[in-house]
Structure 1
Amino acid sequence: MTDEINYESNPLHGLGLQDLLTQIVDHYGFDILFAYLNVNCFKTNPSIESSVKFLKKNDWAREKVEVFYLYKFKNLPRPSSEQFALSPRYRIIPEGLTPREPAELSLEDAERVREKQALKAAEYGKTKNYRR
């Protein structure tokens, strides 16, 4: 008998990509998804079917959507650094933590988040150049 980790505590366990996407699109819409995730399948002629097809082919995009689902839609607390290193599908949600109401998001908030990320990226670029 092997020691298997019980991933059933993860809200993604047993949830198909189409169901996951349908839930978040029904709640937030494609505009919010594009604003927060910057994945083009949510902007150019978006549909559940075409988005699922794209996400199945692109692991990096699927992981962005899964992280969004866990930490914005299910509004779970951020994972520990150990869990953060794992793919979202393999993270263990500590016992006693349950999903909360979806986070309230807006296009204005998304723009502020993008601005912060751009500043961090610029600062990272500056410090990285100094280390050469």
Structure 2
Amino acid sequence: MTSPRPQTPLHGVTLEAVVTALVDHYGWARLGQLIAIRCFQSDPSIKSSLKFLRKTPWAREKVEALYIQLKTQ
């Protein structure tokens, strides 16, 4: 018998879905204010943001935390 695993808010959600949801909710300008990283502030795109976030754990953690905050409101 397997024990139930605790579900995290990010379980089964791709990074692309996270970024897309945040952009849809906040827009690029506000997202760049909330998380001050260049990929959100200067010529932003989903593709460039994903590339940066996959290589930068501290930035990804901030994005995921904002997404969790958005989904638990």
* TM-score band w.r.t. shorter chain: 0.7 to 0.9
Percent of pairs with identical residues: 45
Secondary structure of 2:43's counterpart equals coil
Q: In proportion to residue count, which structure has more helix?
A: 2
2:27 pairs, out of 26, 29, 37, with 29
User: 1: CA distance between counterparts of 2:45 and 2:3?
Assistant: 37
When normalised by structure 1's length, the TM-score is 0.51
Summarize the alignment of residues 6-21 of structure 1 with structure 2, pairs less than 5 Å apart.
6-7=5-6, 9-21=7-19
2:45 pairs, out of 34, 44, 47, with 47
When normalised by structure 2's length, the TM-score is 0.88
The unaligned stretches of length 5 or more in structure 2 are none
Deviation at 1:4, TM superposition (A): 7.0
Across the aligned residues of Structure 1 and Structure 2, the Cα RMSD in angstroms comes to 1.8
* Structure of higher CA gyration radius: 1
Q: Which runs of 4+ in 1 moved over 6 A?
A: none
Sort the Cα spacing of 1:6 and 1:33 in 2 relative to 1 into closer, same or farther, 3 A. Answer: same
Partner of 1:97: none
User: 2: CA distance between counterparts of 1:25 and 1:53?
Assistant: 16
Give the aligned length.
Answer: 73
